[in-house]
Amino acid sequence: MRSIRGAAATGVTRPAWEALLALPQAGGHTEVLEVRSVGPLSGARADYRQRAARPRHHRGVTDGELDLATKEGRFMFAVLAAAAEYELELRAERQAEGTAAAKRREATGAMLPGKKKTGRPRVIGPAELVTLRRLVDDGIAIAEAARTLKIGRSTAYAALAGR
């Protein structure tokens, strides 16, 4: 089990994961409710799903318990824990790669169709901001002007503050 705790090598700490790894005791059992894919299965994913849909005559890991009193049960637990850790790190890596690619596209001006920049789209555009400023300059309360434009009061205050 110690060898799976390789998260520290990547600089990532997961206190909840460490606490879960400390829970199993010899002689106890762990019930596995679900095992999802570990990573890309390339073209075999559809075949895997078809095989998984067929009736089975043996108990799979997702069907029952892992007996931690046996070396096989401890081995399966270690394999499943390593697979879960691998999948978690792989997902984080892919997310970081996607974010970096989007920022590169934004910097070069090669954004996806219909998008000009990354991040959350603005609620209030330049035309709405001009209208909001005009309403406030005419003496209408900011909350009332926000209701008129159908935007949130805090959005109106932030827009007027230039954020």
How many domains would you assign to the chain? 2
Tell whether 65 and 94 lie within a shared domain: yes
| Rg of the chain in Å (alpha carbons) | 26
Kindly provide the residue ranges of all beta strands, DSSP E only, lying in the chain, ordered along the sequence.
29-31, 65-67
Q: Is residue 118 part of a domain?
A: no
Q: Is residue 85 part of a domain?
A: yes
Q: Give the phi and the psi of residue 30 in degrees, each rounded to 5.
A: -125, 130
Range of the domain at 12: 2-108
Q: Is residue 114 part of a domain?
A: no
pLDDT averaged over every residue in the chain: 75
Q: Read off the pLDDT band of 64 (50, 70, 90).
A: low
Q: Is residue 104 part of a domain?
A: yes
Quick one: pLDDT at residue 59?
43
Average pLDDT score over residue span 9-27: 70
Q: Is residue 90 part of a domain?
A: yes
Q: Is residue 117 part of a domain?
A: no
State both tokens at 18: 């460490």
Q: Is residue 121 part of a domain?
A: no
Q: Is residue 120 part of a domain?
A: no
Tell whether 134 and 94 lie within a shared domain: no
- 64 or 96: whose pLDDT is higher? 96
Each residue's pLDDT tens digit, 104-161? 888 887 777 777 777 777 788 888 999 999 999 999 999 999 999 999 999 999 999 9
Tell whether 130 and 104 lie within a shared domain: no
Cβ–Cβ under 8 Å, residues 68 and 25: yes
Does residue 52 have a pLDDT over 70? no
Does residue 96 have a pLDDT over 90? yes
